[in-house]
Chain A
Amino acid sequence: MIRALTLLLAFQLAGELIARLTAIPVPGPVVGMVMLVALFAVRGAIPEDLKAVAGTILRHLSLLFVPAGVGLMLHGARIASEWAVIAAALLGSTILSLIVTVLVFRLFARGRDAEDGGEAA
C-alpha cells in the first residue's frame, strides 16, 4: 500500500515538474496520469497493490471535494446578491453540456456499436 501511494505521489511530482519546466498549459497531475498509463503500457500490467489503492481512492473521490466546497462560506455576500445569475448559469450550462456531449459522441460513434459492446440493454 505504501509502495502504491509513493508511486502515485512520485508521478504527480514528476508531472508537476514537467508541466512547470515546459510551461505547457496541462495541469501537473494530468501529466502524471499520462506517464502512469505509459508505464503500464511498457510493463504490460498494473501492479496489484496499485490497483487496490487506486480503487479505494476513486470510490470515494467525492469526499475530496468537501474541503474546497466549504470555502463557499467565504462568498455568502456575493452569492446572496448574484444567486439568480449563478443558479441560471450553472443549471443551464450543466444541462446543455450533458446533452451536447452525448449527442456529438453518438454522432461520431454511429454504426460502430456492435463491435464496441457499449450499448445499454
Chain B
Amino acid sequence: MPGVVTDVWVYLSANPLLWLTATLGAYVFGHWLYLLSGENPLVNSVAIAVAILIALLLVTGTDYRRYFDGAQFVHFMLGPAVVALGVPLYEHRKQVRRALLPIVAALLAGAATAVVSAVGIAYLLGGSEETVISLAPKSVTTPIAMGIAERLGGLPSLTAGLVLITGILGAVIGSPLFNALGFTDWRARGFSMGLTAHGIGTARAFQVNEVAGTFAAIGLGLNGVATAILVPLLIGAFR
C-alpha cells in the first residue's frame, strides 16, 4: 500500500468515527434493500447489516473490540429506547387496562415457554452447558439478556447474537404463522411478537399494525422483567 493510504487507514481504524459510520451505513443499506423488496420481512435490515459488518471486519482484519469502540454509541441507545417504550404504553393505556388479565396470563405462559423450550431442546440434543445457558434469555432485549447470561455463567456476547437471531426469526415467522393458524386478534399477535422477539419483533409489529405494535412493546417490557426472574430459578432447578 502507498504510504498515504496506510497513514489514512491507521488514523481511521483507530478512530471510533469509522465503525460508527459503517454501522449506520450498513443498516441504512439494509433498510433500503428492505424497502426495495416491497417490505418483504425475509429481507431483514438487521441481518443484512450484521453480515456486511462481519465481512468488513474479517476482510480488514479488525477485531471486535476495536469495532465496538465506535459502535458502542449505537449500542448505548438500547437503554433509553427501553425507557421510551413508556410513551406508546401510556398512549394506549385504556386498551392495556382492559386486557390486563390476558396480558398477565399470556406473559407467564409465554415467558416460561420461551425459556424452557430453548433450554430443553438444546439440552436434549446434547448442547454444551455454556451454550444451553446462553440460550435461556434469548427472547428478551439485548441489555437484559446479556445481564442474565453473565450472572449465570453463560457467554454474554453469544447470548447477544442468539437474541438477534431470535428477533429476526420471530419477525419473519410471526405474521405468516399467525395468518395460517387463523389468529386475528392484533393485541394477542402483537403481545406474542414482543414477548418472543423483543425489539426486532416489536419493530415488525409496528409496521404491520399500530395496536399490534403497542402490545408488542408491552410484551417486550414485561418479558424483560419476567425472564430476569424466571431464568435463575429454572437454571437452578436444572442443576
Binding site for B on A (CB under 8 A): 5, 8-9, 11-12, 15, 25-30, 32-34, 36-37, 40-41, 46, 50-51, 53-55, 57-75, 78, 82, 84-86, 88-102, 104-109, 112-113, 115-120
Number of interface residues of B (CB under 8 A): 112
A90 to B139 alpha-carbon distance, docked (Å): 9
**A-B residue pairs, 4 tightest by C-beta:** A101-B110, A67-B71, A72-B161, A68-B160
- Interface residues, chain B, CB within 8 Å of chain A? 23-24, 26-27, 45-46, 49-50, 53-54, 57-58, 64, 67-68, 71-72, 74-75, 77-91, 93, 95, 98-99, 101-103, 105-106, 109-110, 113-114, 117-119, 121-122, 125-128, 130-131, 135, 138-139, 142-144, 146-147, 155, 157-158, 160-167, 169-170, 173-174, 177-178, 181, 183-189, 191-193, 195-197, 199-200, 202-203, 206, 209, 211, 217, 219, 221, 224-225, 228-229, 232
Instruction: A98 to B194: give the CA distance in the assembly, Å.
Output: 9
Shortest beta-carbon distance from B59 to chain A in Å: 12
Q: By the criterion CB–CB under 8 Å, are A65 and B80 in contact? A: no
A-B contact pairs, 23 of them (CB 8 A): A8-B83, A27-B82, A29-B79, A30-B82, A34-B86, A54-B84, A59-B203, A64-B78, A65-B142, A67-B75, A71-B68, A71-B158, A73-B54, A85-B121, A86-B122, A95-B173, A101-B110, A101-B188, A102-B183, A107-B105, A116-B98, A118-B186, A120-B186
Which residues of A sit under 8 angstroms from B144, Cβ to Cβ?
A: 27, 29-30
Chain B contact residues: over half helix, strand or loop, or mixed?
helix
Which one, B24, B68, B125, B217, contacts A89 given CB within 8 A?
B125
B157 pairs with A75, CB closer than 8 A: yes
Residue of B nearest to A50 (CB): B87
B160, A69: Cβ atoms under 8 Å? yes
In-complex Cβ contact of A97 among B161, B195, B228 (8 A): B195
Query: Which residue of chain B is the closest to A8 with respect to CB atoms?
Result: B80
User: Complex Cα distance A16/B78, Å?
Assistant: 14
Q: In whole Å, how far is B110's beta carbon from the nearest beta carbon of chain A?
A: 3
Which one of A58, A75, A94, A96 has the greatest number of beta carbons of chain B within 10 Å?
A: A94
